[in-house]
Amino acid sequence: MEASDRDHEAEDAAKICQPDKETDGVRAVTIGPYHRYPQDQVIFDDEYKWAVTRYIARRWAHFDSSIYLQAMAEMELDARRYYAYDFHEEIGSYDFLVMLLLDSAFILFVLDAVGNKELLYSGNDPFGYGTLLLKVQDSIMEIKIDLLRLDNQIPFFAVEQLYVISHCGKPDYHNDYLQEKFRNLVLSGFKDLYPKREKGRRINFEDTEFDHLLHLFHWSRVPEDKYLSAPQ
């Protein structure tokens, strides 16, 4: 096989695939474009995602949705290339960017809720953290399963950059400190799922890029000498 053919195979294999008609639908939450309008009602709809987004905006001082949307607008074509077919006519630019914002905020809220709880509000809880958290806790396993579906993903950089912007006020694709914090947050969020994380697996920023949450989860479960980043 020619090198160019292998490159095309690797690129296709990395794309977020459209769901098979025979595949069970998402259980709790839709992430990305393929399940935007599920036949069955999901537990966490856009109204809940907006509530989570507003909450994060109140808790993380640097969170700015306008900065995030502008950053994602500059990356929109790259983000759309993560998917296996062109759905431009189905989801316009504005709706696509808002989808990235809401889905990223939901993912961050869930990961934080089961991780280091940076978003935890102590005291009288005027912003309703307890109510938002309780709903997540009631469905946490269903959420985790949905977040690891290949047809239920958004680009990794979309979630990571919302975390980065929320902590430093601007997009930064070379902020190793915040990127490492975010990636460890992701891994801690799935630490109770089998297979367990491969011991000694460490993220090398020079040669490790992830397409989506499932990609990082899979990477963390495979021994380093067995892992192939692309088909050979």
DSSP of 108-163, one letter per residue? Answer: HHHHHHTTT-TT---SS-TT-HHHHHHHHHHTHHHHHHHHT-TTS---HHHHHHHH
Residue 206: pLDDT above 70?
A: no
Within a domain: 181:
yes
For residue 83, give the 3-state DSSP assignment: strand
Domain extent for 205: 3-226
Between CA 8 and CA 94 the distance in angstroms is 29
pLDDT digits (tens, 9 = 90+) for 119-176: 987 666 767 888 999 999 999 999 999 999 999 999 999 999 999 999 999 999 999 9
Better pLDDT: 91 or 156: 156
- Phi then psi for 120, rounded to 5 degrees? -60, 130
Scanning the structure block, which residue is given the tokens 């892992």?
227
Q: What is the pTM of this model?
A: 0.86
pLDDT digits (tens, 9 = 90+) for 15-36: 665 555 544 678 899 999 988 8
Q: Are 121 and 129 in contact (CB under 8 A)?
A: yes
For residue 10, the model assigns a pLDDT of: 42
Within a domain: 79:
yes
Within a domain: 198:
yes
- What's the pLDDT band for 50 if we cut at 50, 70, 90? very high
Mean pLDDT across the stretch 99-107? Answer: 98
- Lowest mean pLDDT segment, chosen from 97-111, 167-181, 186-200, 210-224: 186-200
Q: Are 164 and 50 in contact (CB under 8 A)?
A: no
For residue 105, the model assigns a pLDDT of: 99
Within a domain: 232:
no
Residue 56: pLDDT above 80?
A: yes
Within a domain: 222:
yes
Mean pLDDT across the stretch 193-220? Answer: 81
Question: Nearest to residue 145, comparing CAs of 26, 9, 226, 41?
Answer: 26
| Number of domains into which the chain is organized | 1
For residue 2, the model assigns a pLDDT of: 44
Peptide bond into 38 cis (omega under 30): no
Counting every residue written for the chain, the total comes to 232
Between CA 213 and CA 207 the distance in angstroms is 17
Between CA 123 and CA 158 the distance in angstroms is 32
Within a domain: 15:
yes
Within a domain: 231:
no
CA dihedral 90, 92, 93, 98 (to 10 degrees): -80
For residue 231, the model assigns a pLDDT of: 38
- What's the pLDDT band for 232 if we cut at 50, 70, 90? very low
For residue 121, the model assigns a pLDDT of: 73
